[in-house]
Amino acid sequence: MKKIFIIVSLIFVSNMIFAQRVSELSPTMIVWNLDGNKKASLSKGRYGVKFRDSLSLDVYFSEQTYQRFKNKNVKFEFRWYYYLSTTKSMMYVDKGKHLTALQNGSLFVNSTQKNLKPGWWEVQIYTNYDNALLEIARTTKFQIMISK
């Protein structure tokens, strides 16, 4: 009985250690951008979207958030995954993305991909600020269904 307890405890602790961490940086908005001129919410992306050329995931931060990390060299990494039936394959990694200031004082970072094949896609965004995933509305995996 004692051995079973130790094994279960080790499994539980190892899962906690390797769980994906959530970043302290909190974006104010994350949206899909279709062909550079049409925006779609994260929830609309799950129902399927059509576009001609390019798809990007745009992430916006407030100026207050920027004040917390402005003296650090913060970079973002976008990982694009494609679902093949029941398995997930990493297709693209967009590394070293920096923030861009907008006229309204907010900040912006994005990742754009072209000629994506139809199907389910997922994007995860890592930051080197605290080596963790960005999260909005308790979501760290941003999924989209691309229709033909």
- pTM for this prediction: 0.82
Short-list 62, 92, 70, 71, CA closest to 80: 92
Q: Which two tokens stand for residue 4?
A: 């079973």
- The confidence score (pLDDT) of residue 14 equals 44
Cα-flanking dihedrals φ and ψ of residue 142, to 5°? -105, 110
State mean pLDDT over 95-114: 88
Strand ordering across the sheet containing 107-114: 38-40, 29-34, 54-61, 107-114, 100-101
| Residue appearing with tokens 């991909």 | 113
The CATH classification number of 21-146 equals 2.60.40.10
Q: Left (φ > 0), alpha (ψ -120 to 50) or beta: where does 55 sit?
A: beta
- The confidence score (pLDDT) of residue 145 equals 94
- The confidence score (pLDDT) of residue 19 equals 54
Cα-flanking dihedrals φ and ψ of residue 147, to 5°? -95, 160
> Apex CA 60: angle with CA 17 and CA 22, to 5°?
10
Burial 8-21, CB ≥16 within 10 A → b, else e: eeeeeeeeeeeeee
Kindly report the number of other CB atoms within 10 A of residue 37's CB atom: 6
Cα-flanking dihedrals φ and ψ of residue 71, to 5°? -90, 0
Q: Given pLDDT bands bounded at 50, 70 and 90, which one contains residue 144?
A: very high
| Residue appearing with tokens 């279960």 | 8
- The confidence score (pLDDT) of residue 3 equals 59
The percent of residues above 90 in pLDDT, for the chain, comes to: 51
Please give the residue that has the higher pLDDT: either 69 or 99: 99
